[in-house]
Every structure is written in structure tokens, then in C-alpha cells.
């Protein structure tokens, strides 16, 4: 109830703030199909955006539509203007739209995009927010009057040959592909490469393995880390395998996938233009009905992010448990000491980087649930959970990218092996007895392990007491370095 009260308080505060601004700030009057509405004079957005601010007073600055989506929409508007020039759009208007859209893409006009994620599920209000800002900025460039829709109209010119139903999913795919290629893949690769360096560094260090969190047979520390390397390589491969569907763009499908109000070749030319702008292999979606009605590509892509989060969570947990201590834990690894760990326990240092990235993994897994449910909400010709879905995907990309960089720089790169502790634990393990299965049989080997454990003996002492083998045989056969690979 307390949380609900806070939400209501925030909503009321935002509503009061909006009303106060509408009465205190200088305004101009703009029109849409519902009539006149006041718009702040210093803002480039128009009636559709102002009406959305009134209708969706939800959340705060943390809930604003990601700028990556806004800028991707602007890039699409720029591409559409250039293509539409070949289909009858006045070249002068096309140039104005192109220049204004470029300013949006460059981040010059970020303050003019106030709408929250929690709006119409098609993203129509954000599409119109971008249309209005580009239109009014183009009007400014032409020396016209803001809100006049002359000489550049937000619908007739900026949104020419487009619908929110195809522009928003196109912008989603653009934003995800750009963020993935510019931010995430390099970070995952950085973490993988650091783990590989550690695997190389730890070559020749043999330790006890663990299954079910209990002692198992020996394994090389380098082998253990090679598993982490493979997990990260697989994570990159899964994401790259999902990208081809992200590179498919809905632009040209317009309202329901039929391409109404476009021209033959528009969709292909827009995709080719965006590929030229970004250097990424964007293509027009082969079936616009699927591209509008479903968001399966995002579900698939985030599924790959979810798998990466699962892998990273396992790696980080292994590292923090292997480094537990320093006196009373496993203590096989030594982690960098980055900051004080306790406000009450002097000298305590904690595995904070492991904790940070496992929290990130938990958030990504939560996002995966939301994206999965959102993807299931494709009713008839249109999915209507898209703003939420793209918000979750972009957050996961950002968190995984930043988290992997931080984890690599502040933890993995500085990990050292505690060779003395590793050797002590290895030689105390009862599971070294496993190598005797092929020599004296499973049952006798089991008797040795149980006798040693019950009587607090070493394996060697137990084996000799039970007279299952000689001291020379034990020393020749129970050698950890021979237990980490198949016999020749």
C-alpha cells in the first residue's frame, strides 16, 4: 500500500506540474483532430505530444522513451525523405526534413522528447512526437511559424509513406541492432578474452573439482576457466545468430502490412538507405504482415540475451565462491580488493563486482519474462506491447554491456590463483580415490573413501590399513596430474 501511495503521489505531482506549467509558461496553440491544445512555446513538439503528456501522466524521468528509439525514428525519417524525393516529395521539403531529422539523430534536440514508455502499445505518440519535432524544426529552418505545419507537415511530409505501425518496429530493430553492435558484442568479447588470458595463465595448476557443491575428481584450473570462455563464445554466437531477424525492417508495411500509401520499391529503398547510413546489413522484411503483427524477432533476440545472463551469472557465482574466505572459505582464487566491504567489520573486503553483475543477470532474466509476454500480445494485425518490449531489450543490452566491462576491468583481469590453498584442498580430497576404480574395482575404492572419512585418515592411510594395495602402488596410481584427461 505504501508503494501504491508513492506512485499515486508521483502521478499527482506530475499532473500538478503539468497544469502549473500550462498556466505559467508561455504557450502557443496547436491543433490535431481533437481540436486546439496548448503547447509550451519553447518546445518543438506539437498537439499529439502535448495530448499524450496529458493522457499518460505515468512515471517520471526514468520512464521516458529511450533516446535510442527516438534517434532511430529520426534516422528512418531521414531515409524516408530521401526515398520519397524519388516518389514525388518536393526536393526542398525533403532537404528540410533531412536536416531536421539529422539534428534529432545527433542528439541536438533531446529535450523535445518527453513521452513515457507507458503509452499506446504501437508507439504512435512517440512516432508523432518525432514527426512534430522534425516538422517544427524544419519550419524554423525555413523561417516559418511553429505549429503552422507549413511548409513541412508532420503527417503529409515527415510521415509520408509511413504508419506508426511500421515505423515504430523499424525503429526498434534499428536501435537494438545499433546498440548491440556498438556496445554489447564488444563487451562480451572483452570478457571472453580476459577469461581466456586467465585460462592460459592458470595452465598447469591442478585443483579439486566439485559437483553438487561437493568434492569431485581433479580438474585443471585452466580447464575450469576454459569452460567459462566457451560459455562467453556461445553467448556471442547466439546473439549474432539472432541478429539477421533484427536486420529485417517493417518499413513499407504501413498500417496493416499491405503497404497502402507507399510506392513499389519504397520498402526496399528505405532498408538499403538505412544500411548505407549505418553500415549494418538491414533489409526489408520478407513478410510485412509478420513484421507488424508479431515481435518474435525481439523475443528470440532477448532469449539470446537471457542465455548470456545465465552464463554470466554462473561464471560470476563460481568466481565469488572459489574466492570465498579469506581464512574460512574455499579460497582458491584471490580477487582484486577494490573497496571496503563493511561499515562495521574492519578490514572486510567483498566480491562486489560478482554481486553487481549477478544482479544485472537477474534484471535481464526479469526483462525476458516481460519481453516474452509482450511478444505474445500480437492481436490480429498488430503487436501492441512494443514500447515496453524495446525498453526492456535496450536496458538489457546496456546493463550487460556495462556490466561485462566493469566485471572484466575490476575483477577478472586481476584474479590470481592461491596455489598453496589449491594444493592443500586437492590433497585432502577423498575423491582422488576414483582413479582406483579400474585398478581394484568400485566397491573397494568406495570402502577406502568411507574408511578414510569415518576415521579422519588420508586416502593412503586408509588404503594401507585395508590392505587393498601397497604404498608403491598407491603412489604410482593416485596422481592428480594423470586424472585430468583420458588415459592414452
> Where in the sequence numbering do the catalytic residues fall?
212, 342
Residue 181's alpha-carbon distances to 45, 117, 371, in angstroms, are 31, 24, 20
Look up cell 530521401; give the residue: 82
Q: What value, to the nearest 5°, has the Cα angle with vertex 462 and ends 461 and 467?
A: 100
β-pair partners for 284: 249
DSSP 3-state assignment of 206? strand
DSSP 3-state assignment of 377? coil
The dihedral region occupied by 212, where left means phi > 0, alpha psi between -120 and 50, and beta the remainder, is: left
Residue 30's alpha-carbon distances to 18, 143, 426, 434, in angstroms, are 17, 18, 77, 81
| CA 125/CA 265 separation, integer angstroms | 27
| CA 484/CA 172 separation, integer angstroms | 48
Residues 6+ apart with CB under 8 A from 314: 231
CB of 115 closer than 8 Å to CB of 130 = no
Alpha helices per DSSP H over 376-441: 386-410, 419-428, 437-440
CB of 300 closer than 8 Å to CB of 242 = yes
| CA 251/CA 78 separation, integer angstroms | 13
Cell numbers standing for residue 484: 585430468
Cell numbers standing for residue 374: 509482450
Q: Residue 123: count other Cβ atoms within 10 Å of its Cβ.
A: 27
| CA 162/CA 77 separation, integer angstroms | 9
Q: Residue 253: count other Cβ atoms within 10 Å of its Cβ.
A: 30
| CA 35/CA 360 separation, integer angstroms | 46
CB of 304 closer than 8 Å to CB of 297 = no
Amino acid at each position: 500500500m505504501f508503494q501504491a501511495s508513492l506512485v499515486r503521489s508521483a502521478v499527482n505531482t506530475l499532473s500538478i506540474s503539468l497544469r502549473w506549467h500550462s498556466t505559467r509558461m508561455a504557450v502557443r496553440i496547436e491543433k490535431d483532430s481533437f481540436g486546439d491544445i496548448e503547447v509550451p512555446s519553447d518546445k518543438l513538439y506539437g498537439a499529439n505530444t502535448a495530448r499524450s503528456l496529458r493522457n499518460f501522466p505515468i512515471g517520471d524521468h526514468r520512464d521516458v522513451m529511450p533516446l535510442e528509439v527516438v534517434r532511430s525514428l529520426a534516422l528512418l525519417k531521414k531515409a524516408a525523405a530521401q526515398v520519397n524525393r524519388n516518389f514525388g516529395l518536393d526536393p526542398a521539403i525533403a532537404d528540410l526534413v533531412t536536416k531536421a531529422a539529422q539534428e534529432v539523430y545527433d542528439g541536438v534536440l533531446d529535450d523535445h522528447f518527453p513521452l513515457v514508455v507507458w503509452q499506446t502499445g504501437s508507439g504512435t505518440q512517440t512516432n508523432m512526437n518525432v514527426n512534430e519535432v522534425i516538422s517544427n524544426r524544419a519550419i524554423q529552418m525555413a523561417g516559418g511559424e511553429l505549429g503552422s505545419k507549413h511548409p513541412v507537415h508532420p503527417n503529409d511530409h515527415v510521415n509520408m509513406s509511413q504508419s506508426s505501425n511500421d515505423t515504430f518496429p523499424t525503429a526498434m530493430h534499428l536501435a537494438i541492432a545499433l546498440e548491440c553492435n556498438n556496445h554489447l558484442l564488444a563487451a562480451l568479447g572483452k570478457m571472453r578474452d580476459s577469461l581466456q588470458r586467465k585460462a592460459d595463465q592458470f595452465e598447469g595448476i591442478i585443483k579439486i573439482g566439485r559437483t553438487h557443491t561437493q568434492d569431485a575428481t581433479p580438474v585443471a584450473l585452466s580447464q575450469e576457466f576454459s569452460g567459462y570462455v566457451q560459455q562467453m563464445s556461445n553467448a556471442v554466437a547466439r546473439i549474432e545468430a539472432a541478429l539477421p531477424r533484427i536486420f529485417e525492417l517493417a518499413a513499407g508495411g504501413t498500417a496493416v502490412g499491405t503497404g497502402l500509401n507507399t510506392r513499389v520499391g519504397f520498402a526496399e529503398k528505405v532498408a538499403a538507405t538505412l544500411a548505407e547510413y549505418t553500415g549494418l546489413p538491414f533489409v526489408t522484411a520478407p513478410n510485412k504482415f509478420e513484421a507488424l503483427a508479431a515481435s518474435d524477432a525481439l523475443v528470440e533476440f532477448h532469449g539470446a540475451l537471457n542465455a548470456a545472463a545465465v552464463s554470466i551469472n554462473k561464471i560470476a557465482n563460481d568466481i565469488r565462491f572459489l574466492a570465498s574466505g579469506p581464512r574460512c572459505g574455499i579460497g582458491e582464487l584471490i580477487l582484486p580488493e577494490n573497496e571496503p566491504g563493511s561499515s562495521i567489520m574492519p578490514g572486510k573486503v567483498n566480491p562486489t563486482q560478482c554481486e553487481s553483475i549477478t544482479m544485472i543477470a537477474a534484471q535481464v532474466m526479469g526483462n525476458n519474462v516481460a519481453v516474452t509476454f509482450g511478444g505474445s500480445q500480437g492481436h490480429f494485425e498488430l503487436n501492441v506491447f512494443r514500447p515496453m518490449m524495446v525498453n526492456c531489450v535496450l536496458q538489457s543490452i546496456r546493463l550487460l554491456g556495462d556490466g561485462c566491462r566493469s566485471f572484466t576491468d575490476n575483477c577478472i583481469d586481476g584474479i590470481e590463483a592461491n596455489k598453496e590453498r589449491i594444493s592443500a584442498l586437492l590433497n585432502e580430497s577423498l575423491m582422488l580415490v576414483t582413479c582406483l576404480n579400474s585398478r581394484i574395482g568400485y566397491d573397494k575404492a568406495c570402502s577406502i573413501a568411507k574408511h578414510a572419512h569415518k576415521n579422519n585418515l588420508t586416502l593412503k592411510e586408509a588404503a594401507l590399513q585395508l590392505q587393498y594395495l601397497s604404498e608403491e602402488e598407491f603412489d604410482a596410481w593416485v596422481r592428480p596430474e594423470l586424472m585430468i584427461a583420458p588415459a592414452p
